[in-house]
């Protein structure tokens, strides 16, 4: 039973981690908490459902479709909700937060109209593949999710640390003006960041759809708030922090069910952020915040 629960916790944690990676990327570069990330994630899941069940297309098409659509959403988000605020004089640093809350409300209600309020099953034969180890059933999807989350983390770390684009990105994060003076196309860099983060949300959406066979318009809010909690737990802007924060939360939520009261499962994330911000505001893996 312990091993089964461990697998449950790791699966949930890996999904949280992928969602949190999208959050942390945007925060790391722009210093913005993207409250609409959860809804973009939800759209990714719906696109996956539409492509696999309505069009009967294979899974890779669903992935491709979800990535494309969520990337476009990321573009629109940056273009219309973030960019207009960037160079405005006297705009409070809270403005982008509020603006993305607006986007999240818009997207959640839009999905009600587009997809209906009900639950959509995610049917692919891939999600049915499982194997038996002793008395434990492990689904291939669970392993895939875990692997994808690790791969994404490694790729992001490498990309940010070693490649030219990654360096430009970090320079932009450090100081927008200086980076732009040094010849970094900051506009493009920021746009790319938001698009990549959104596409990662789309991937996470499909993975959740497959793993839990459940896609609803409400899943965005709940997942978005969890992702938020994780990046605060792990340290804002930290890739490693998002990964481990996600795994920690996933395991904690699973094990409170095992040993405690499942009624408080949703509160863990929020209690964690309150405690972490009071004790160690920079998060587990974050660098000291200078405000």
Q: Which of residues 7-46 bind other proteins (CB under 8 A)?
A: 8-9, 11-12, 33
Question: What part of residues 169-188 is at the interface with other proteins (CB under 8 A)?
Answer: none
131 binds other proteins (CB under 8 A): no
232 binds other proteins (CB under 8 A): yes
x/- mask, other proteins, residues 75-114, rule CB under 8 A, reads -----xx--xx--x-xxxxxxxxxx-xxxxxxxxxx-xx-
Shortest Cβ distance from residue 167 to other proteins (Å)? 26
CA 105 to chain centre: 17
Shortest Cβ distance from residue 250 to other proteins (Å)? 9
* Gap between the Cα atoms of 5 and 2, Å rounded: 5
**Segment contacting other proteins (CB under 8 A): 115-123, 143-151, 159-167, 170-178?**
115-123
Residue that the structure tokens 């070693």 belong to:
162
130 binds other proteins (CB under 8 A): yes
**Segment contacting other proteins (CB under 8 A): 163-171, 175-183, 196-204, 249-257?**
249-257
Complex with other proteins: residue 21 or 42, whichever CB lies closer: 42
Question: What part of residues 195-214 is at the interface with other proteins (CB under 8 A)?
Answer: 208, 211-214
**Segment contacting other proteins (CB under 8 A): 3-11, 65-73, 144-152, 173-181?**
3-11
CA atoms within a 13 Å half-sphere pointing along the CA-CB vector of 167: 6
Shortest Cβ distance from residue 121 to other proteins (Å)? 5
Shortest Cβ distance from residue 141 to other proteins (Å)? 10
- Give the residue, chosen from 219, 230, 247, 249, that forms a contact with other proteins under the rule CB under 8 A: 219
Question: What part of residues 135-154 is at the interface with other proteins (CB under 8 A)?
Answer: 137, 139
Complex with other proteins: residue 109 or 163, whichever CB lies closer: 109
- Please give the size of the binding site for other proteins, defined by CB under 8 A: 83
Shortest Cβ distance from residue 223 to other proteins (Å)? 8
Shortest Cβ distance from residue 119 to other proteins (Å)? 4
State phi, psi for 280 to the nearest 5 degrees.
-140, 80
Complex with other proteins: residue 240 or 265, whichever CB lies closer: 265
CA atoms within a 13 Å half-sphere pointing along the CA-CB vector of 89: 0
221 binds other proteins (CB under 8 A): yes
DSSP readout, the chain?
-HHHHHHHHHHHHHHHHHHHHHHHHHHHHH----TTHHHHHHHHHHHHHIIIIIS---HHHHHHHHHHHHHHHHHHIIIIIIHHHHT-TT--TTHHHHHHHHHHHHHHHHHHHHH-SS-B----GGGG-EEEETTEEEEHHHHHHHHHHHHHHHHHHHHHHHSHHHHHHHHHHH-HHHHHHTT--HHHHHHHHHHHHHHHHHHHHHHHHHHH--B-TTHHHHHHHHHHHHHHHH-TT-HHHHHHHHHHHHHHHHHHHHHS-GGGHHHHHHHHHHHHHHH-TT-SSPPPP--
């Amino acid at each position: 039973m312990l091993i089964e629960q461990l697998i449950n916790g790791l699966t949930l944690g890996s999904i949280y981690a992928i969602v949190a990676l999208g959050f942390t990327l945007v925060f790391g570069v722009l210093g913005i908490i993207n409250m609409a990330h959860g809804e973009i994630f939800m759209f990714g899941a719906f696109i996956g459902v539409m492509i696999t069940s309505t069009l009967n297309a294979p899974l890779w098409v669903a992935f491709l479709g979800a990535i494309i659509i969520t990337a476009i959403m990321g573009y629109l988000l940056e273009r219309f909700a973030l960019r207009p605020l960037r160079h405005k004089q006297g705009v409070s640093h809270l403005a982008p937060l509020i603006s993305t809350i607006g986007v999240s409300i818009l997207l959640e209600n839009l999905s009600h109209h587009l997809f209906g309020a009900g639950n959509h099953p995610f049917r692919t034969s891939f999600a049915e593949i499982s194997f038996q180890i002793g008395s434990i059933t492990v689904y291939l999807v669970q392993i895939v999710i875990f692997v994808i989350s690790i791969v994404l983390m490694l790729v992001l770390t490498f990309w940010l640390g070693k490649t030219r684009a990654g360096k430009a990105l970090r320079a932009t994060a450090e100081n927008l003006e200086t980076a732009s003076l040094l010849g970094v196309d900051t506009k493009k860099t920021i746009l790319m960041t938001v698009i990549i983060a959104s596409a990662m949300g789309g991937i996470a959406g499909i993975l959740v759809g497959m793993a839990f066979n459940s896609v609803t318009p409400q899943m965005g809010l709940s997942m978005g708030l969890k992702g938020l909690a994780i990046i605060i737990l792990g340290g804002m802007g930290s890739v490693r922090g998002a990964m481990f924060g996600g795994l920690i939360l996933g395991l904690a939520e699973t094990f409170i069910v095992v040993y405690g009261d499942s009624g408080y499962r949703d509160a863990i994330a929020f209690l964690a952020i309150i405690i972490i911000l009071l004790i160690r505001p920079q998060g587990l893996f974050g660098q000291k915040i200078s405000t």
